[in-house]
Structure 1
């Protein structure tokens, strides 16, 4: 292969690697209010991000972190968005739901009852710390 053809092939391969393989975008979303409108807006943001990046040939890893009053988003029997979370979780393996252990402990102390979470929610030691960790890992932070 002559040098010009080699250069052309190298540039073509570099361009296809840059545009064809897709990029993984990392996004952290945050819920700290017991407000169904806010919870739905966060879920809408996650859906819209996923759809936009899919249209670009990219993917998104999205983590929704809930703490304080926003933890009700993940509480079984209280969550106004439980059905949406269940459906979205099935449709998007890159969508993750994190629940603050500090908030759970406070709720249990206040009510004297165990807090049951939706099966999609994973417990993290601290919601605020989790948001910091995600940002330190390069996640874009969005607070609706």
Structure 2
């Protein structure tokens, strides 16, 4: 009996030591849309840090995160082509199943080539309208966050 209690206590200690593990049950599962429409590289890096901090607190397995970019927000992926920190931030979040969604209206309006001008973007990442998609996701129960 004592071995079982010691084992359970060790397991509890391990769970509390894991990042976000103690809070994950408190916060439950979350669906979140992050809205990026500013083009400042430092602001974009800050937004990526906000998203990672959110994942750390809740746990990647408890999150469904979408990043919707339109207007100057596409600069996040434009600048990532030449900015190793932005690339690393995008790659890290994608490995945690964060979805980056790009406004077709902005792509067309800015005459951007998806595969040449945007870091790691494909046709599957394109949404018809950034603002319409934000509204749609909120109607689907996603919490809106504007970093």
Q: TM-score, normalised by structure 2?
A: 0.69
Report what 1:30 is aligned to. Answer: 35
Correspondence for 1:39 among 36, 40, 44: 44
Q: Is the 8 A contact 1:29 1:141 kept in 2?
A: yes
Establish whether residue 77 from structure 1 lines up as the match of residue 78 from structure 2: no
In the aligned structure 2, how far is the partner of 1:31 from the partner of 1:58?
23
**1:112-131 mapped onto 2 (5 Å cutoff):** 114-115=113-114, 116=116, 117-120=118-121, 122-131=125-134
Change (3 A) 1:84 1:138: same
CA-based RMSD? 2.5
Paired residues, what number?
A: 117
Q: Which residue of 1 aligns with 2:66?
A: 63
Aligned residue in 1 for 2:14: none
Pairwise CA distance, 1:45: 1.4
The 1:105–1:78 alpha-carbon spacing in structure 2 relative to 1, beyond 3 Å, is: farther
Distance apart, 1:78 and its partner CA: 5.3
The structure that is helix-richer by fraction is 2
- Say which one has the larger Rg: 1
Q: Partners in 2 of 1:58 and 1:85 — Cα distance?
A: 18
Residue of structure 2 in register with 1:136 after alignment: 139
Query: Could you tell me how far apart the structure 2 residues matched to 1:102 and 1:67 are?
Result: 8
Runs of 4+ in structure 1 over 6 Å off: none
Gapped regions of structure 2 (runs ≥ 5): 1-23
Cα separation, 1, equivalents of 2:132 and 2:82: 25
Q: Where does structure 1 lack aligned partners over 5 or more consecutive residues?
A: 1-18
Report the TM-score, using the length of structure 1 for normalisation: 0.71
